[in-house]
Structure 1
Amino acid sequence: MRSMNSIKLVETLVFLRVHWHYQTITVPPQYFFCKCCFHICVFQDVLRNILDLNESVIQNEEFVLCVSGGKLFPGSIPLAHRYGGHQFGYWAGQLGDGRAHFLGEYTNRKGERWELQLKGSGKTPYSRSGDGRAVIRSSVREFLCSEAMHFLGVPTSRALSLVVSEEPVWRDLFYNGNVIKERGAVVLRLARSWFRIGSLEILTRTGELDVLRTLLDFIIEEYFKSIAMNDPDKYVVFFSRVVNETAHLIAHWMSVGFAHGVCNTDNFSLLSITIDYGPFGFMESYDPNFVPNTSDDEGRYSIGAQANVGLFNLQKLLELMEDTGADFTMTFRQLSEVTMSQLQTGSIPPSMWALSDLLSHEYFRDWVQLYLKRLMESDSDAARQHRMQGVNPRYVLRNWMAESAIRKAEKNDFSEVALLQKTLTEPFVEQEEAERAGYSSKPPSWAQQLRVSCSS
């Protein structure tokens, strides 16, 4: 069926109005019986603090239809955004929202403006040969990780809801000709803006310079209000802001061991927030060449390529961690929990398994002496521990945790998705249920065999 499009916002080739077919997901009656049931999950923080809604709305049939793509929100005009991008270093031409529908903007009681978008909600004029759908595994990962990153303090898009369908979606997971049937899903995600670097690239490439200037002026006026529109250097100032804020974003990524996986220009936000969660990964054993994406054969987007900064002591620590395969997240977390006395005597308790892995390294004692010297220059040990525990998470969304939740969700058991929802909203706080689930323990041996790809 051909889509019917019309002009929206700036010129003809930035946004297209999409004819809505109301056929994304068939919503059965069993959706409507609990907050996190077999088919729908909702993050209450987004519901309450961004959309000003009470959790009772989850029981409302119209709400579920809207967040699943079965019905439009009142006043919504679905749009698809056209953009281009460099993918793995090469110009990929016109891309665009191939399975995402921009629903509109909501201004909440705090005056914040949020753009709502459905992902996995069906075809658009930019779907190319795709079906416009998303599968449960990629949708669970984006749903959980976008909120996990928010509570880690990393600038990010947000996720309101995940609705899982019984309808089949066919995917070649590793692009090897092995097509399998998977379950479809829809995520309602939010951001201050969905404009990307590729939003501007496509207009430059096609010579649409008048449209480019119009779009740039719109973006600056709407999202960079501190830049004066009558400033003759406004575009230079805008560029400088994007460069600086993107550098800060990547520093945030590095601080929590996050590798995006597909750092293409169409996946990089002009507002310097993390968007488009695909084959991402949180580094476990320290490896500067860590690549979460199996499609990245040359390691172009390895975590080490995201940034190349570090202080002397930190670099020395990372060298030890690389040699011993120490866990990235838990090494720093356990450094925030260990006492100076334990470091001085080398009496690291077995429960601090990540630090224990470092004990055998020949340079560990030398590094500890440097570290202790630095600690003695600061405040009390308790204050140091408290401060460090506020920035070094105990829990991140490791691939094995997401995979465990996905396997259960595929069997209509969303209990682990719910547990991860709860755990990842307080990543710096030790939680009894999360500890029982092993979320701060040494990863299971099978975790090393996990692979993720762009297939979703």
Structure 2
Amino acid sequence: MNLNIKDTFNKELPADPITENSRRQVMGACYSFVKPKQPLKPSLIHSSDEMGANLGLSQADLESKKFLDIFSGNSVLPNTNPYAMCYGGHQFGNWAGQLGDGRAINLFEVNHMDKQWALQLKGAGETPYSRTADGLAVLRSSIREYLCSEAMYHLGVPTTRALSLALTGDKVLRDVLYNGNPAYEKGAVVCRVAPTFIRFGNFEILSARQDVATLKTLTNYTIRHFFPHIKEGAKEGYLQLFKEVSERSLEMIIHWQRVGFVHGVMNTDNMSILGLTIDYGPYGWLEGYDHGWTPNTTDRQYKRYRYGNQINIGLWNLYQLANALYPLIEDAKPLEAVLNSYRENYQTKYLSMMKSKIGLFTDHGEDAELLNRLEDNLEMTETDMTIFFRNLGRFKKSSKISTSLPPYITDAFYAPEEVQGELFNTWKQWFTDYSLRLNKESLSNIQRQEKMDSINPKYVLRNYMAQLAIDEADTGNYGLINELYQLLKQPYQEQEEAEKWYAKRPEWARHKVGCSMLSCSS
């Protein structure tokens, strides 16, 4: 296994001078050196040959004992210095102070084919930022992260990636429902990969502590390595950085809305400076189309991070990043202009994205109203988001609705018998207007369907699918993990042999733990 190690973060940024692994407030530093906890009996469950190739690893490398040792935390590569990042954050709208990598340890950075990758173990033991926790992860949450990060990548959503999933052989105590009934679960560790894991919170903690010197050092580092076209060390460069982070964050969230992904815990410490989806905790996929749905049990009451509010939370989080960068810019007006631009752009970009989902690729004045009515209709009766939009591509320009909706539309309804009377008439009117609008498009029915099928996935990692893989893995059977991993590599393809996964959530999964809402321990 010959990796081209080229560390930058732990060489160019200030380190915590204290090297003991004790919980503490870390001042004047961007990270603390810490080694992973050695697992009791590590074993590899799955690895990504695709991600491995991006790092210069062969299939033989992925199957080697050395690979297992390094990416389970059992050993540390020579001449590398693992570390945990120091950052703060706003959690559920409140400043939480220092947070940091409480259960993530950055191993090293790899440069391959002129691309830089940071590799990080999640669940590899305690760090100075673990607070009262043990720094470990359990199998269920690790499977969810491993599968979802790769699934999101193939959906075309900006995301961190995953290299490997391993059992540690340790037992980890967790209270899955936060109801005072903890139980031991199988420990696991995921190797996560991204160009960098720097978050909004890395800047926030330094600004909150008025450590402007380290803030400037971190910001210059970020520009130098990840935004090299921006001028380093100048106010206009810092403002340009903020503008590009704003644009990338908006693009990411628009993609979430497109595929029906709900992050579940959009705290500022879970926002990547590169606009990548990061930290797959209590996430979920919309089953029924519902702007008010959140997958996070902690968010059940106020629904701050609900599907329909994600774009607004993105803006709120950018306000916090603007505050953090203000000491480097010292002018509020240009920062406010960027934030206002986000607000204006999300209206335009959201409309454009939703139009593409229903096959409208030219501009007409009535489109926003047509889409508003559609979204209202979708919430009048429980309607599967993925199936509805995927099947809508089969609707022809000349189609007429008389006494019933087409089966490929009613297939998306959880209770199709509800769609009668006034509700049926509402849908009939919408499809009548939609048919007239389609006649203004130049694409043929076949061309439009092909284009819609490249935007509306057929397969996503539905919550119950991940739970089935978790349940099987608990018995020592990892076949379903690989089956879903392969399925989700081609989410826009028909895959006739996998048709069983193109189905509404089964009724048994409606209230089953892990299939509807999840806790932050997920």
With normalisation by structure 2, the TM-score equals 0.80
Is the deviation greater in 341-350 or in 208-217? 341-350
Task: Write the letter of the residue equivalent to 1:451.
Answer: M
Aligned counterpart for 1:392 among listed residues 456, 462, 469? 456
Task: Write the letter of the residue equivalent to 2:41.
Answer: T
Contact 1:100–1:132 under 8 Å retained in 2: yes
Task: Write the letter of the residue equivalent to 1:43.
Answer: S
- How far apart are the structure 1 equivalents of 2:47 and 2:396? 39
Q: Over residues 138-175 of structure 1, what are the superposed CA-to-partner deviations in whole Å (9 max), with x where a residue is unaligned? A: 10000000011101100000001101233210001122
Task: Write the letter of the residue equivalent to 2:250.
Answer: A
Secondary structure of the residue that 1:72 maps to in structure 2?
coil
- Residue 326 of structure 1 aligns with which residue? 383
- Residue 429 of structure 1 aligns with which residue? 493
- Residue 349 of structure 1 aligns with which residue? 407
Q: Relative to total residues, which structure has the larger helix share, 1 or 2?
A: 2
- Residue 87 of structure 2 aligns with which residue? 83
Distance 1:343 1:334, change over 3 A: farther
- How far apart are the structure 1 equivalents of 2:474 and 2:74? 21
Cα drift, residue 372 of structure 1: 1.3
- How far apart are the structure 2 equivalents of 1:63 and 1:25? 16
Contact 1:390–1:428 under 8 Å retained in 2: yes
- Residue 36 of structure 1 aligns with which residue? none
Contact 2:105–2:121 under 8 Å retained in 1: yes
Task: Write the letter of the residue equivalent to 1:72.
Answer: V
Cα drift, residue 350 of structure 1: 5.7
Cα drift, residue 389 of structure 1: 0.4
Contact 1:348–1:355 under 8 Å retained in 2: no
Contact 2:382–2:413 under 8 Å retained in 1: no
Distance 1:165 1:230, change over 3 A: closer
Task: Write the letter of the residue equivalent to 1:363.
Answer: T
Contact 2:36–2:124 under 8 Å retained in 1: no
- Is 2:276 the counterpart of 1:264? no
- How far apart are the structure 1 equivalents of 2:473 and 2:497? 19
Q: Over residues 382-403 of structure 1, what are the superposed CA-to-partner deviations in whole Å (9 max), with x where a residue is unaligned? A: 0001010011001111111111
Distance 1:214 1:58, change over 3 A: closer
- Residue 60 of structure 1 aligns with which residue? 64
- How far apart are the structure 2 equivalents of 1:127 and 1:24? 18
Contact 1:24–1:122 under 8 Å retained in 2: no
- Residue 45 of structure 1 aligns with which residue? 50
- Residue 35 of structure 1 aligns with which residue? none
- Residue 501 of structure 2 aligns with which residue? 439
- How far apart are the structure 1 equivalents of 2:112 and 2:394? 39
How do 1:21-420 and structure 2 match up within 5 A? 23-27=38-42, 31=43, 39-48=44-53, 50-109=54-113, 111-229=114-232, 231-296=234-299, 297-307=301-311, 309=347, 310=351, 311-340=368-397, 348-349=406-407, 353-354=411-412, 357=416, 360=420, 361=423, 362-378=425-441, 379-420=443-484
Distance 1:212 1:323, change over 3 A: same
Secondary structure of the residue that 1:154 maps to in structure 2?
coil
Q: Over residues 269-317 of structure 1, what are the superposed CA-to-partner deviations in whole Å (9 max), with x where a residue is unaligned? A: 1111100000001111011110100011311111111137443222211
Contact 2:88–2:100 under 8 Å retained in 1: yes
Cα drift, residue 406 of structure 1: 0.3
Q: Work out the number of aligned pairs and report it.
A: 435
- Residue 359 of structure 2 aligns with which residue? none
Distance 1:52 1:341, change over 3 A: farther
Is the deviation greater in 265-274 or in 336-345? 336-345
- How far apart are the structure 2 equivalents of 1:178 and 1:396? 32
Secondary structure of the residue that 2:269 maps to in structure 1?
helix
- How far apart are the structure 2 equivalents of 1:43 and 1:245? 26
- How far apart are the structure 2 equivalents of 1:126 and 1:140? 24
Task: Write the letter of the residue equivalent to 2:141.
Answer: S
Is the deviation greater in 239-248 or in 187-196? 239-248
Is the deviation greater in 384-393 or in 360-369? 360-369
- How far apart are the structure 1 equivalents of 2:135 and 2:233? 41
Cα drift, residue 230 of structure 1: 5.8
Cα drift, residue 74 of structure 1: 4.0
Distance 1:337 1:69, change over 3 A: farther
Distance 1:189 1:57, change over 3 A: same
- How far apart are the structure 2 equivalents of 1:221 and 1:396? 36
Task: Write the letter of the residue equivalent to 1:443.
Answer: R
Gaps of 5+ in 1: 1-6, 32-38
Task: Write the letter of the residue equivalent to 1:24.
Answer: P
Gaps of 5+ in 2: 1-9, 17-28, 313-346, 352-367
Secondary structure of the residue that 2:378 maps to in structure 1?
helix
- How far apart are the structure 1 equivalents of 2:39 and 2:400? 57
- How far apart are the structure 2 equivalents of 1:162 and 1:22? 16
Secondary structure of the residue that 1:307 maps to in structure 2?
helix
Contact 2:37–2:124 under 8 Å retained in 1: no
Contact 1:146–1:156 under 8 Å retained in 2: yes
Contact 1:334–1:355 under 8 Å retained in 2: no
Identical columns (%): 41
Contact 1:26–1:70 under 8 Å retained in 2: no
- How far apart are the structure 2 equivalents of 1:88 and 1:254? 20
Q: Over residues 157-196 of structure 1, what are the superposed CA-to-partner deviations in whole Å (9 max), with x where a residue is unaligned? A: 0001101233210001122111111101000010111010
Task: Write the letter of the residue equivalent to 2:208.
Answer: R
- How far apart are the structure 2 equivalents of 1:271 and 1:113? 13
- How far apart are the structure 2 equivalents of 1:165 and 1:374? 56
Is the deviation greater in 267-276 or in 243-252? 243-252
Contact 1:395–1:424 under 8 Å retained in 2: yes
Secondary structure of the residue that 1:234 maps to in structure 2?
helix
Q: How well do the aligned residues superpose, as a CA RMSD in angstroms?
A: 1.9
